[in-house]
A and B are shown apart, each in its own frame.
Chain A
Amino acid sequence: MNEQPDLSKFSPKGDVLVVAEQILGDLQPVTLELLGAGRLLADKMERSLIAIVLGHKISDLAPKLIEYGADRVYVADHPELYYYRTLPYRRVVCDFLESLPEPPHTALLGSTTTGRDLAPRIAAHFDTGLTADCTELDIGPYEHKSKVDPSKIGLYPNCLYAIRPSFGESLKARILGPWKNPQMATTRPGVMVPLKADPKRKGEIITLEVKLQPQDFRLMVAETVREVAKGVKLTEADVIVSGGFGLGTADGFDLIFELAKCFENSAVGASRKVVDLGWIPYQHQVGQTGKTVRPKVYIACGISGAIQHRVGMSKSGLIIAINKDADAPIFKFAHHGIVGDIYQIIPELIHQFKEVQSGRGVEAVVSAH
């Protein structure tokens, strides 16, 4: 009987990789956040933090990645990479990973429409594990004892801990897969914290040779439209008013929009359930599978506050919850809670806000003296 766990079996080396994301040359904020998270992981294991960026005419991006923490940046610049497309991007990233003498220990992507499109392709190609929408990342040891697959038994000193809420349950699950590198994970924009840009940081920039194949062009991009001005500026709003299933009907959002209008720089959010029901477009969804937001004020109307919603908004400055059910979980982490019927409370809120705005509320105070 071997008393000592066998450490020699798996001794992962390899760096921490961030697959950068840009849309039409704009580096996406999630990439900087991933560099922040990846830096911590790399430092913990004493490895390098590397990044790959794909696109066309993107020479200004590599230095920025270094400023935000990358030690080494690989640049794949090619006209066919101007727009994101699954197959060419997948080709370049897979070829790059195969070209490395040692696969990276960890590979991180943003949990964006691009990252969620690309990451599973790479994971499937390398038969490696991928954890979606992580809310925390860490490095730590793990001892696998299950005898289902004897080849997996052992103590693994440096594992990627990919932590995410388990859906429909108020649990956080720590998911890991140390048997194969790269250990992959995606995280939502807004979850991780970027480092402060340091223009003095030194790093290496390496240009990759791009070799695409005819079958990579089975799908062509006809048009990419970004409606930056339009749309829902959820992540930039100071005040977010969100509606949930407690509204009862899609029309309830009329009231939510009206309440939002009372505030400076506001936006309307929604819980997952009502988006699923089609009451309001997906772009409004706050939470694990929607957007992560940190407004100064978050007003949750008829939202129960399930864990998936909470992870998307719990870092808001002032959380106000309105819900009929005094036992709703949202009251456990809101700062102010009003127990009552939203159809009575919201019109009253609007009414009193309007009084304040028109100065009448102030007058009343003055005249009381």
Chain B
Amino acid sequence: MLITSENGNFWGGGSERRMARSYDIFVLVKQVPDQGSKAGLNPDGTIDRARAKRMLNPFDRYALQAALHTKKHYGGTVTAISMGPPPAVEVLLEALEHGVDRGFLLSDRRLAASDTLATAYALFKTVTYVGRFDLIFCGLQTTDGDTAQVGPQLAERLDLPQVTYCEDFSIEDNKVNARRIIEGGYQKVVSEMPLLVTVANSYHPLEYKSFRGTWRVQRLQRNPDELKKYIQTVDLDIIGADPERCGLKGSPTIVAATEKVGELGGSCQLHQGHSAPELVEDLLATSNIKDFLATAK
């Protein structure tokens, strides 16, 4: 059974303008290891995912902002979709605090070791299961995979037009006007919906969580039955995905080997333990940096 939210204003606030239609907005979010915290880093530099602190992928914050902005200005409901082990429900709760209407978590052991293609397939089946949509927002990339591939691969599976590196966005006459970054400039595009958008980090930062959203989530966390009405956890069987196309089996690439990155150079001349003027004098005396100074005006 699908969760339906009859009213876009459920969270209060709601749309500021009356709109001819209400948009079904999906936003994809992912939980990633918190690289800012030293907890969970193995001595050899690899991430111990079990111990690492977890966080919402920083890029997804821009996607969330774009989704919530669209809801606020053009009307609609926002559904957050995530894929990951059970703790990933935390990022959906965080999304609810910010004002997302509902969440879906695809969680299944058979998804372990999925590469981007297998991930895109699993998300494709999840999106199709969740239902009709006008817009899908994704973060530009994740901080753990760092590929920026899943968004476009999902768009291919769904046969959608896409706007990647989107940094500005509006809807007019049921068409999306978007601005995307290109090398040394930008491109303005107009697209039909449904559309998939990956949001660049030059888009507006995510607004702070709402008090009512936070209030609601505190309630849901105490009441698992109530929580299920807002966040549904699904597995491959529920969404009708082919396990052969997921996880290691469904991934055309594998990590065949890793090697520790060797130290470069190792010949650094270190200046330390003196006052700033002395340190700088040292540097000027021992390097040729002066040769690159601009000539005085």
Contact = CB atoms under 8 A, between A and B. Distances in A.
Direct contact of A and B (CB under 8 A): yes
Interface of A: 23, 28, 83-87, 90, 112-114, 116-121, 123-125, 127-133, 142, 144, 146, 148-149, 161-162, 165-177, 179-180, 215, 218-228, 231, 238-239, 261-264, 266, 273, 275-276, 278, 281-282, 288-289, 296-297, 307, 310, 314, 318, 320-321, 326, 331-341, 344-345, 347-349, 351-353, 356-359
B120 A124 contact: yes
B249 A132 contact: no
B268 A337 contact: yes
A129 B183 contact: no
Given A123-B117, A224-B182, A353-B293, A173 B257 contact: yes
A109 to B, nearest CB: 11
A6 to B, nearest CB: 18
Contact of A340 (B264, B272, B289): B272
Contacts of A83: 187
Contact of B258 (A142, A172, A227): A172
Interface in B238-288: 248-249, 251-261, 263-273, 276-277, 279-281, 283-284, 286-288
B46 A332 contact: no
Given A129-B253, A318-B288, A358-B296, A112 B258 contact: no
A340 B279 contact: yes
Max chain B CB contacts within 10 Å: which of A118, A127, A338? A338
B115 interface: yes
Contacts of B33: 168
A170 B46 CA distance: 7
A278 B293 contact: no
Nearest to A295: B292
A218 B265 contact: no
Interface residues on B, range: 35 or more
A275 B184 contact: no
A264 B254 contact: no
Contact of A167 (B144, B268, B270, B280): B144
A337 B272 CA distance: 8
Interface stretch (B5-13, B162-170, B226-234): B162-170
Contact of A117 (B152, B190, B267, B271): B152
25 contacts: A86-B161, A116-B164, A131-B147, A167-B144, A167-B145, A171-B259, A174-B255, A175-B255, A177-B254, A219-B191, A220-B189, A220-B191, A222-B177, A224-B188, A238-B292, A263-B293, A264-B295, A282-B201, A326-B272, A333-B265, A334-B265, A336-B286, A338-B271, A345-B280, A349-B283
The 3 closest A-B CB pairs, nearest first, are A339-B272, A129-B253, A129-B252
Contact of A333 (B143, B183, B263): B263
A176 B256 contact: yes
Nearest to B198: A117
Given A121-B153, A333-B264, A175 B280 contact: no
By secondary structure, the B interface counts as mixed
A83 B187 CA distance: 9
B156 interface: yes
A127 B117 contact: yes
A285 B269 CA distance: 26
A176 B257 CA distance: 9
Given A113-B165, A332-B266, A356 B191 contact: no
Contact of B276 (A127, A318, A345): A345
B258 to A, nearest CB: 5
Contacts of B249: 148-149
B47 A169 contact: yes
A337 B284 contact: no
A349 B281 CA distance: 9
A149 B270 contact: no
Nearest to A347: B276
A221 B268 contact: no
Contacts of A23: 182-183
B291 to A, nearest CB: 9
Nearest to A164: B146
Contacts of A225: 185-188
Contact of A124 (B143, B152, B201): B152
B274 to A, nearest CB: 8
Interface string B58-93: 110000000000000000000000000000000000
A226 B294 contact: no
A131 B195 CA distance: 25
A86 B120 CA distance: 18
Contacts of A340: 272, 276, 279
B116 interface: yes
Contacts of B192: 218-219
A148 B118 CA distance: 15
A275 to B, nearest CB: 7
Contacts of A128: 117, 252
Given A264-B292, A278-B205, A336-B268, 8 more contacts: A130-B117, A171-B45, A172-B258, A175-B256, A220-B191, A225-B186, A336-B283, A338-B270
Contact of B146 (A87, A167, A226, A318): A167
A349 B289 CA distance: 11
Given A87-B161, A224-B182, A310-B264, A121 B257 contact: no
Given A128-B252, A129-B253, A171-B260, A289 B141 contact: yes
A132 B149 contact: yes
